[in-house]
Structure 1
Amino acid sequence: MSVLMSLAMFPTDTNGSKSKEVSEILNIIKNSGLKYQLTSMNTIVEAKTLKELLDLVNLCYLKLESLGCNRVYAVLNFDIRTSGEDRIKSKIASVEKHIGTVSK
């Protein structure tokens, strides 16, 4: 099984940049041992089970809570497939076969 998750999570009760809080979340993802890719709008994470990703989301939320965030905005999208691996890269490669490099 391969589960991809797109995650955007940040506090809404703070002013200005959210990079400090996002960095704390990214550190949790980084230390999870799961494959991930940071983008300018979200972080994509790949796991073998949905439970792994849901547990990770909970850890990210708990971190923001421990930082004193009283309100958190989160958007999650999942692509769940019974087979496959390293889909963070292979999905992009599949498109690039048709049109060439898609990112600069």
Structure 2
Amino acid sequence: MIVEISFVPIGVGTSLSRYIAKVISNIEKSGLKYQLTPMGTIVEGEWVEISNLIDNSHNLIFEMGIERIITNIKIDYRLDKKSSMQDKIESVKKKMVEPDV
């Protein structure tokens, strides 16, 4: 499963990087494969692992004094085959070179 997550602490001004840094440190400790992007973080894993990670991330942000968080979650859940972040990128790049593939 591939999940894109973005956390938006409310009431803290325009800079969110200190909160996101705490979340990314938590993701690194989890051992799950991830990719930080400018607008969110993409994580690979099983739903139980990822949902626990989201819950832990919320708690970390709350512990920093935040009382409200908006969380956006996009889930790519395939049953027909395993697919990683890298697989998806390579598939697009291949089609750029060979459009009929």
Q: Same fold (TM over 0.5)?
A: yes
Aligned to 1:97: 94
Q: CA deviation at 1:10?
A: 2.4
Q: CA deviation at 1:16?
A: 2.5
Please say if 1:65 is aligned against 2:62. yes
Question: How many matched pairs?
Answer: 96
- CA-atom RMSD, angstroms? 1.1
CA displacement, residues 25-79 of structure 1 (integer Å, 9 cap, x when unaligned): 11111111000000110100000x2111111100000000111101111100111
Give me the whole-angstrom Cα distance separating, in 1, the residues matched to 2:96 and 2:4: 24
Aligned to 1:56: 53
Give the ranges of 4+ consecutive aligned residues of structure 1 lying more than 2 Å apart after TM superposition. Answer: none
Q: Which amino acid aligns with 1:40?
A: P
TM-score under structure 1 length normalisation: 0.87
Q: 2:42 aligns with which of 44, 60, 70?
A: 44
Listed as ranges, the gaps of 5+ residues in structure 1 are: none
Give me the whole-angstrom Cα distance separating, in 1, the residues matched to 2:18 and 2:53: 19
Q: 1:26 aligns with which of 20, 24, 27?
A: 24
Q: Percent identity?
A: 29
Listed as ranges, the gaps of 5+ residues in structure 2 are: none
TM-score under structure 2 length normalisation: 0.90
Give me the whole-angstrom Cα distance separating, in 2, the residues matched to 1:25 and 1:79: 21
Q: Secondary structure at the match of 1:81?
A: coil
Q: Which amino acid aligns with 1:13?
A: G
Q: Secondary structure at the match of 2:77?
A: strand
